[in-house]
Amino acid sequence: MQIGMVGLGKMGGNMAERLRRGGHDVVGYDRDPSVSDVGSLKELVERLRAPRVVWVMVPAGAPTQQTVDELGELLAEGDILVDGGNSHYVDDQKHAEELAKRGVGFVDCGVSGGVWGLQNGYALMCGGEKSNVDKVMPIFETLKPEGEDGFVHAGEVGAGHFAKMVHNGIEYGMMQAFAEGWELLEASDVVKDVRGSFSSWRTGTVIRSWLLDLMVRALDDDEHLDELKGYAQDSGEGRWTVQAAVDHAVPLPVITAALYARFASRQDDSPAMKVVAALRNQFGGHAVTGTAGSDEKGADSPGADVKPPKEAS
């Protein structure tokens, strides 16, 4: 099958390679001319035989919007556009409506697999009309892992990215649990082999997983993670998951806490903790740590002898 691939970065480039190895004719476009087969989106569309399938693999938000808008002007009735990035499911519905005016089909596809997808295959979560999904099935079959699992037509337009959004939210929670367990083991005076403890869990335990395998791999490279800074970005899907939970009145305490932990990781000096420290000093005289070069304030510091307010009558 012939397909156009827009965006040949870490994910898109490996996906294009997996498709080529699977016998498909892939025409790729990227802003980096050293990896691109064509010089523009217009040339990409012209190289493809109708009815065309174009897979967009660019960052969510403005880059995806711009790409979809441009392709919408170039594609024709009967063509299909697949958004395989991490777009918000609400945007999918808007894109589908706009493309439908020109008779262009739209499929949203959440993709998981990272840098290992070329070798192991990609988990695919799709949304859209069944007729459009069916037309792209030869591509899905090649990209997915071998076996029955690894692909789902989750529902109508937006369902694929909604499922991927929740998947990433779960991922946040799992990673945070491993992170907290590692920190506690490292802080312990009893456990001497933290890396070995994680490795021992890889067989026969209920938490064995590929994520645990990757954790051990990371510790093999840097046993105490001394070369890393405790700073974690978020791709946006964690935020969307929490927002969707609010919209649907579904409690997500673990995923929400994991998202907030990433926010906290970016603070060298937490403003909120300054307030907590100040209040503990005020009501209990607990010691606080001053700015660089200043002394700690203890129980005899200002505020330690402040009397509690009278109870309201």
Answer with the residue of higher pLDDT: 83 or 279: 83
pLDDT at 207 over 70: yes
What pLDDT, on the 0 to 100 scale, is given for residue 228? 83
**Long-range contacts of range 97-100, CB-CB < 8 Å, 24 or more positions apart?**
98/68, 98/69, 98/72, 99/68, 99/72, 99/75
The rounded distance, in Å, linking the Cα atoms of 260 and 124 is: 28
Active site residue 42: no
Answer with the residue of higher pLDDT: 163 or 235: 163
pLDDT, tens digit, for every residue of 130-151?
Answer: 999 999 999 999 999 999 999 9
Among candidate residues 135, 164, 274, 310, the one labeled active-site is: 164
The rounded distance, in Å, linking the Cα atoms of 241 and 299 is: 44
What pLDDT, on the 0 to 100 scale, is given for residue 296? 53
Q: How many C-beta atoms lie closer than 10 Å to residue 142's C-beta?
A: 19
What pTM was computed for the model?
0.86
Strands of 105-112's sheet in order across: 25-29, 2-6, 53-56, 80-83, 105-112, 123-127, 151-155
What pLDDT, on the 0 to 100 scale, is given for residue 308? 53
Pairing of strands 2-6, 25-29: parallel
What pLDDT, on the 0 to 100 scale, is given for residue 311? 53
pLDDT at 42 over 50: yes
What pLDDT, on the 0 to 100 scale, is given for residue 132? 98
Give the pLDDT mean for 285-313. Answer: 55
Give the pLDDT mean for 186-192. Answer: 95
Cβ proximity of 213 and 202 under 8 Å: yes
Q: Where are the domains of the chain?
A: 2-157, 164-265, 269-313
pLDDT at 204 over 50: yes
Return the CATH number of 2-157, one of 1.10.10.350, 3.40.50.360, 3.40.50.720, 3.30.750.24.
3.40.50.720
Cβ proximity of 26 and 20 under 8 Å: yes
**Average confidence score pLDDT of the chain:** 90
Return the CATH number of 164-265, one of 2.60.40.10, 3.40.1280.10, 1.10.1040.10, 3.40.1160.10.
1.10.1040.10
What pLDDT, on the 0 to 100 scale, is given for residue 297? 52
Give the pLDDT mean for 145-159. Answer: 96
What single letter denotes the amino acid at residue 153? H
pLDDT at 238 over 70: yes
Give the pLDDT mean for 254-267. Answer: 90
Cβ proximity of 146 and 162 under 8 Å: no
